[in-house]
Amino acid sequence: MSMAQAQQLAAKSIGEVLNGHNLNEVLLQIVRQHPELSVADKSTLHALSHGTLRYLGLLQQLVRQMTTTLPADDVNHLLLVALYQLHFTHNAQHAVVNEAVNYARRLHGGRFQKMTNAILRRFLRERDTLCLATQQYDVARYNLPQWWLNYLKKQYPKHWHNILTAFTQHPPMTLRINRHYGNAEQYLADLNAVNVSAKILDTHCVMLEKPVNVQNLPGFADGHFSVQDYGAQQAIPLLNPQNGERILDACAAPGGKTGHMLEWADCVVTALDINQDRLNRVQNNLERLQLHAYLQCADAKDLQTWYDGRTFDAILADVPCTASGVSKRHPDIKWLRQPQDSVTTAQQQESLLDNLWQTLKPGGRLLLATCSIFIEENQLQLARFLARHADARERQSHILLPNSKQDGFYYALIDKT
């Protein structure tokens, strides 16, 4: 893929996200429209799109500082991608500028060609001064909408700065080692044998120094490991499945936690998901791991469509949420979410949790799990649930804030008395 095509496709993806669309879905659609793209091309497109969104606040402010009138949206998106390339990558500067200017010539009758050229060349001349000037604006300094920044300062007064730092970091590639095949120490030796650097985070977790194509790692096809964030790996130890238990994995896709609980114990797992395509991913992951679960496509809160009346020993309720804790891995989330979203999703979670509670046997346990750091979906959700259910007791709860090793998650283990 030429640099020109990379810029153009990345600019298109930025425009779609700013119009309210999920980046992963946008990139999937672009790849379908361009079957000629190689694995390396897709990686380049992924890097440009994610990188631009990771630093969108800064890049948008840079454009504002260099023009009194913003160009047309598609040209503006092109400028954002090109500025990201100039400031954060090792792409040849002359090539970045030339290709962006050439593409601008083809848009809107070339009206913004000179503006594009002037902005990019000015940035190269005055980079330090321009970047310093952006730091007086919080959105540019922290690359986060102002409402979200205010929220973090209020709810996490001691940790908000570290959270913001984590949001701009590239997510690490972390592996969960399949207990049926070995542990972290043993797999680290396998990695060292193929010159892949990594370090141990836990007894069955290693973090790679640099991301690597999973197909190039030993044992992937044979199910020796799965790629899973370290924070996400904390769920199943808390649920602590036991041999012979019947466990429900509600909202199971893409199946990382489903596989983990089957690696943890010889249990009987029912995995639900409302989307068949996503459920197919669960099946594919389980087949690679050589594990089995009962898969069913259904809305977990609509008990009449799937529940047979037999209660479960344990339930993993990995409920839909704003995903505010995984913004490091999905930087589009920062610009897609709105101030009231956490309240709306929390309300939607309530009926799901209440219905799932009916399927849990007395003496059983439910693990409420989210990949959010918004308290409406977490601590406040737990408090409301306990108030509604006299037979519910909190055993423990944890907020995992995003850092260099993990994304952000919330877990609450609830016993049914």
Could you read off the pLDDT of 328-387 as tens digits, one per residue?
A: 999 999 999 999 999 999 999 999 999 999 999 999 999 999 999 999 999 999 999 999
Which of these is catalytic: 205, 251, 321, 371? 371
For residue 1, what pLDDT is reported? 79
For residue 371, what pLDDT is reported? 97
What mean pLDDT comes out for the span 4-19? 96
Q: What angle do CA 363, 367, 372 make, to 5 degrees?
A: 160
- pLDDT, one tens digit per residue, over 268-309 is 999 999 999 999 999 999 999 999 999 999 999 999 999 999
Q: What is the DSSP letter of 274?
A: S
What mean pLDDT comes out for the span 62-84? 96
- pLDDT, one tens digit per residue, over 77-111 is 999 999 999 999 999 999 999 999 999 999 999 99
3-state secondary structure of 186: helix
Residue 321 is a catalytic residue:
no
CB atoms within 10 A of CB 222: 12
For residue 192, what pLDDT is reported? 95
Q: What is the CA radius of gyration of the chain?
A: 23
Name the pLDDT band for 236 (thresholds 50, 70, 90): very high
**What's the CA gap between 46 and 210, in Å, rounded?**
16
Q: Of the candidates 288, 226, 284, 278, which has an alpha carbon nearest to the alpha carbon of residue 257?
A: 226
For residue 2, what pLDDT is reported? 87
For residue 365, what pLDDT is reported? 98
**Cβ(257)–Cβ(235) under 8 Å?**
yes
**Cβ(55)–Cβ(35) under 8 Å?**
no
- pLDDT, one tens digit per residue, over 117-130 is 999 999 999 999 99
Q: What is the DSSP letter of 307?
A: -
What mean pLDDT comes out for the span 230-256? 97
Q: What is the DSSP letter of 108?
A: G
pLDDT-above-90 percentage for the chain: 98
3-state secondary structure of 326: helix
pLDDT at 34 over 90: yes
For residue 200, what pLDDT is reported? 98
What mean pLDDT comes out for the span 228-254? 97
Task: Give Cβ neighbours of residue 318 (< 8 Å, ≥ 6 apart).
Answer: 235, 249, 250, 251, 252, 257, 369, 370
**Cβ(322)–Cβ(333) under 8 Å?**
yes
> Which long-range contacts does 217-220 make (Cβ < 8 Å, 24+ apart)?
217/175, 217/191, 218/190, 218/191, 218/193, 218/194, 219/181, 219/187, 219/190, 220/288
- pLDDT, one tens digit per residue, over 157-188 is 999 999 999 999 999 999 999 999 999 999 99
CB atoms within 10 A of CB 396: 9
Helices 93-105, 113-134: inter-axial angle, 10-degree rounding? 130
Q: What is the mean pLDDT of the chain?
A: 96
Q: Can you list the domains of the chain with their CATH numbers?
A: 3-143 (1.10.940.10), 174-227 (3.30.70.1170), 232-416 (3.40.50.150)
| Structure-token pair, residue 207 | 């973090």
- pLDDT, one tens digit per residue, over 182-220 is 999 999 999 999 999 999 999 999 999 999 999 999 999
Name the pLDDT band for 134 (thresholds 50, 70, 90): very high
Tell me the H-state helices in 213-340.
Answer: 235-239, 256-264, 276-289, 333-336
pLDDT at 3 over 90: no
Q: Which residues pair with 415 in a beta bridge?
A: 365, 393
**What's the CA gap between 109 and 279, in Å, rounded?**
47
**What's the CA gap between 367 and 383, in Å, rounded?**
14
